[in-house]
Amino acid sequence: MAEFNPGEKSTANRVEAVYAGLFEAISKGEFAEGRLPTEAELALSYGVSRPTLREALSRLRLDGVITSRRGAGSFVLHRPDRNIQQFAAIESIADIQRSFVFRIAMESAAAGLAAELRTGKNLDEMRRALDRLGSNLEHELAVEEDILFHLAVMRASQNPYFVTTFEMITGQIRVAVQLTRSLSLGKSRARRESVQAEHHDILTAIERGSSAAASEAMHIHLSNSRNRLFEGPLSQ
């Protein structure tokens, strides 16, 4: 487990350090049968107070890494991909996951509007981006092509606030896309094809003019992208 001197850090930094330590330990499979030690044991191991430890556990729950059962303790739900540390610092994973939460809300709404208001020019822009994504399916990360597809959806909403907000957080989005696509390159072709199929579902729903289907397709895609940071449920 992570070791640090609690006297050297603020409370916020202690929480981050405990979060990072637990995240790393979980990714390495250090907890037998997915069950975490008790709060008292973890607080002692990390040299922090129980409230600090609970805040770190709360963040892991929000990120979908663990679950807590009253009277039974905390258990690992998903084990982060073991290769994740090759592409991002552990401390940044929480921010990446929270950016997905924000994007799910924002882009699902924008996709719904895009289905209602898109023009022929908007559809052409999305198709071109999707074609470029497909041509790079096998060997390239295609990070910029991915971003351009999502930006095209924002533009198709005909609402400049969606476009402006998306452009403001493009840096964070780029980091998240690069991470998930870097991990996907090491997986099966079927996994990469499933990502492309999700993009196709978004475009198809927008082409059909189905607001509900477009919003749902975007929600599914971004939720799956977030989940692809993990190998899957611990039991798998």
**pLDDT, tens digit, 9 for 90 and up, residues 23-43:** 888 877 888 668 899 999 999
Q: Which pLDDT does position 193 carry in this prediction?
A: 84
Rounded-to-integer distance, Cα 233 and Cα 236, Å: 6
User: Quick one: average pLDDT of 152-159?
Assistant: 98
Residue 19 has pLDDT above 50, yes or no: yes
Rounded-to-integer distance, Cα 104 and Cα 222, Å: 6
137 pLDDT tier (thresholds 50, 70, 90): low
Q: Which pLDDT does position 33 carry in this prediction?
A: 67
In the chain, which residues fall in CATH 1.10.10.10?
6-80
Residue 236 has pLDDT above 80, yes or no: no
Percent of the chain with pLDDT over 90: 43
CATH top class, domain 85-233: mainly alpha
List, in order, residues 6 or more apart from 150 with CB less than 8 Å away.
Answer: 107, 166, 173
Q: Distances in Å between the alpha carbon of 196 and those of 134, 138, 164, 167, 175?
A: 7, 11, 25, 22, 19
CA 45 from centre of chain: 29
CA 62 from centre of chain: 12
Alpha-helical runs (H) found in the chain: 11-27, 39-46, 50-62, 90-117, 120-135, 143-156, 160-168, 170-185, 189-208, 211-227
**pLDDT, tens digit, 9 for 90 and up, residues 156-170:** 999 999 999 999 989
Name which residue leads in pLDDT, 12 or 116.
Answer: 116
Domain 6-80: assigned CATH number: 1.10.10.10
Q: Distances in Å between the alpha carbon of 104 and those of 33, 72, 98, 115, 131?
A: 32, 32, 10, 16, 23
**pLDDT, tens digit, 9 for 90 and up, residues 43-83:** 999 999 999 999 999 988 887 788 988 888 899 887 766 55
Rounded-to-integer distance, Cα 19 and Cα 94, Å: 9
pTM (2 decimals)? Answer: 0.68
**pLDDT, tens digit, 9 for 90 and up, residues 79-109:** 766 555 554 454 566 677 778 889 999 999 9
Residue 2 has pLDDT above 50, yes or no: no
In the chain, which residues fall in CATH 1.20.120.530?
85-233
Average pLDDT of every residue of the chain: 83
**pLDDT, tens digit, 9 for 90 and up, residues 195-219:** 889 999 999 999 999 999 999 999 9
Residue 7 has pLDDT above 60, yes or no: no
